[in-house]
Structures are given as structure tokens and as C-alpha cells.
Amino acid sequence: MPYEDLPLDLRRPTAGPPVRPPRPARAGTRWGLVLAGAIVAGSALVFWWLNRSQPTPTAPAPTAATDVAIRPNRPKPQPLDLPPLKDSDVVLRELVSALSQHPLLARLLATPALVESATLTIVQIGDGRTPANPLQALRPSVRLQLAGSGDGSIDPASYTRWNNAASALASVDPEAFAQLYVNTKPLVDQSYRELGYPGDFDEALARAFRVLVETPVRKTELDLLRRANYFEHQDPELRALKPVQKQFLLLGPANRERVTTWLRAVAARLDLKIN
């Protein structure tokens, strides 16, 4: 090598401390690095798998239970300008008369304090009592007759005494009655509270319906015992019934069926559980 290519200040380097070669990594550290790398690689693989394009799952066909939405039967109240309770007779007569023109129903509507009378009727039936005073207009003009001169079965012709009342009730469409009930319920609730009962009148209505529909059905003729001013059931089981149930039996099988069918239809449209 030519001299001019050498540094002008050429000195021999001083020997420094010896440099130790790097120690080989320990086995534990080496395996830890490998494991960490595997975890990172695995995580990346899982992330890619979860975010890759997936086929859109096919929605299952609706089952029979979800094909039709379950909706309450109870109608919604319609906008109605209700008068005060004490002045409600005229409006209520018009509303009920629009549902039925049955003569016996018209006679019942002629009585005063219609809302209060109807409320009391339902309460008394629910308590098991016979609402004789509120339903005076529905009372038959002829008395019950037995087949013989003494104790015994009811003369079947006596059941026709209640045909007119059962027809009057059946002449009112259950759906229309349910709508009328929810429309005028604020008046009924007020009357119910004034009788001293807290809570919702729906409970009283369901209780009254339940008392009537749970009246035992008898396929045989009813045997009665004559008393001074009334008749009594000869069957001890029937004598133990509530007064309104014992009276309800005297309507006869056909009329009872018409009444209970109407009550069940109204209860279904108002979502009332009666059995």
C-alpha cells in the first residue's frame, strides 16, 4: 500500500479490555419467546377468522306460535264526553238503546240512577246475593209453579217466565257491550268507589260473572220444597249454594245456557278471567 494513503498521524492503538462473547440465551427464555410468538400468531389467526367474510345466515321460518301476534281482545275507549255521574241517565239510555230496542230492556232503562243501579247489581251478584231491587223491572209477572200440588219438580212451563229476560240480554251484542263498558267505565268506577269499594270495577264484574257461570248444571228436573212465601231446593247440595245461584237455576236449562254464553262472550272481549 503506498505511504500517501496512510494517515499522517499514524499511531498504534492501545489495547483495551478484552470483549467477552455474548452468552447463549437460557433455555427457559428461549422457550418463553417461542410461546409468546405462538400466542401472537394464534391471536392474529383467530382475529382473521372472526373478521373474514362470513355467509349471511338464513333466518329460520316462523313457527306457528309466532305467525300471529297475540293481542288483547279488550277494545280501546273511544273519545266520549261523559257527563257527571248524577246526570248520566239520559246519555246512558241513549247509548244502551243504540245497542238494542228490546222492550224489556227499554223498561229497565226507564228506572232512575242507571249507573248506580247497574253497579249495585254486579256487586250483589258477586257477593252471592239476589239483586231483587235493582232488577225489579225484569221480574216475571207470574209465579213459579210445581208439577203437583205439593212438593216436587218444577212445571217446565214455568221456565218460560224468564224467556223475555234472557232474550233481552241476548239481544245486546257482546262486542258492542264491551265497547260501551270501556267507554263509560269512568262513571262505573266512580259509582263503585261511592259504594265504598276501592280498586278496579273489572274485579267486581269478573267475580259476578264467575258466580253465575259456576252454578252447577243439573240435567234432571229440579225438585223444590214449598215454604210459606218461597220455594227451597230439595237437594242439600243445591240448598247450600249462594242465593243468586239458587235463583239462577230457576231460569231453566235453556235460559241459563243463553245467559252463560253471553257472559262468557263479554268476558272474552274484556279479557276477564272467569274460570
CA dist 11 and 185 (Å) reads 117
pLDDT at 179: 97
Helix axes 89-97, 174-194, angle to 10 degrees: 160
Question: Which residue is listed with cell 338464513?
Answer: 58
CA dist 27 and 199 (Å) reads 81
pLDDT at 63: 42
pTM score, two decimals?
Answer: 0.73
Amino acid at 23: R
Question: Which residue is listed with cell 228506572?
Answer: 111
Instruction: Give the dihedral sign, CA 171/120/260/267.
Output: positive
Run means of pLDDT, 10 residues per run, the chain, 275 residues: 33 41 43 39 39 46 42 89 96 96 95 96 97 91 88 92 96 98 97 94 97 91 89 93 96 96 98 93
Q: Which whole-number Å values give the CA distances from 235 to 166, 221, 223, 255, in the listed order?
A: 25, 11, 7, 21
The b/e string for 115-135 (b: 16+ C-beta within 10 A; e otherwise) is: bbbbbbbbbbbbeeeebeebb
pLDDT at 249: 95
Domain limits of the chain?
85-138+146-269
pLDDT at 247: 94
